């Protein structure tokens, strides 16, 4: 049992009244403190991790997506993004440089998606190609833009030498 005792007066000192020793039982307060600590530890909600769903291909399908439905997004330095529709050698939509703002990559994806849907009647496939000079944040931003724009099919691929030369021509590598 916990006690708090006041020190007794010395024998030679004069005191007007004789003070009794003060005794306070702290057991109940300690028990309450441990109960409160236990309660708050057990009821605290820790932050839950947020994960993005990634769909992986199933089986050994060898069918490809035609270049008329393939949008290539190349991530460059300084938060710059280059995109084109089709092949790098002969693009259906010429390579353009933009950023990650609302009127940048998102608008380009929505516009080209509508153009592809009108021309082919099918959905668009996006190839995301991060360059060596891009940062991880740009890749996450590009994936976020795919989710926001409602793109169902996209992939992350290695950047090709032709894409690197296009980025260099636009001072984005």
- Whether 109 is covered by a domain: the verdict is yes
CATH of the domain at 95: 3.30.420.270
Domain range for 128 is 67-169
Strand order in the sheet with 125-130: 91-98, 81-86, 70-75, 125-130, 153-156
- Whether 28 is covered by a domain: the verdict is no
- Whether 38 is covered by a domain: the verdict is no
- Whether 46 is covered by a domain: the verdict is no
pLDDT of res. 101: 86
Report the C-alpha gap between 169 and 15 in whole angstroms. 96
Spans of the chain below 70 pLDDT? 1-20, 52, 54-63
Does the predicted model carry a pTM greater than 0.85? Answer: no
- Whether 41 is covered by a domain: the verdict is no
pLDDT of res. 82: 93
Q: Are 101 and 148 in contact (CB under 8 A)?
A: no
- Helix axis angle, 107-120 to 136-149, nearest 10°: 50
Domains of the chain: total: 1
Please state the three-class secondary structure of 53-118 as a single string: CCCCCCCCCCCCCCHHHEEEEEECCCCCEEEEEECCCCEEEEEEEECCCHHHHHHHHHHHHHHHHH
pLDDT of res. 64: 72
**Please, what is the Cα angle at 80 between 76 and 81, to 5 degrees?**
75
- Whether 121 is covered by a domain: the verdict is yes
- Whether 86 is covered by a domain: the verdict is yes
pLDDT of res. 127: 92
pLDDT of res. 172: 78
């Amino acid at each position: 049992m916990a006690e708090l005792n006041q020190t007794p007066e010395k024998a030679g000192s004069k005191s007007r009244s004789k003070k009794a020793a003060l005794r306070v039982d702290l057991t109940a307060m300690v028990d309450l403190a441990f109960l409160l600590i236990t309660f708050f530890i057990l009821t605290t909600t820790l932050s839950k991790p947020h994960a993005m769903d990634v769909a992986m291909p199933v089986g050994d399908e060898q069918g490809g997506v035609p270049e008329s439905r393939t949008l290539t997004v190349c991530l460059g330095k300084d938060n710059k993004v280059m995109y084109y529709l089709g092949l790098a050698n002969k693009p259906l939509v010429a390579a353009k440089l933009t950023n990650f703002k609302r009127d940048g990559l998102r608008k380009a994806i929505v516009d080209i998606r509508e153009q592809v849907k009108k021309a082919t009647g099918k959905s668009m496939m996006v190839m995301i190609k991060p360059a060596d000079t891009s940062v991880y944040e740009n890749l996450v931003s590009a994936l976020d833009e795919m989710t926001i724009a409602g793109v169902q099919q996209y992939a992350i691929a290695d950047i090709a030498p032709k894409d690197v030369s296009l980025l260099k021509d636009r001072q984005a590598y």
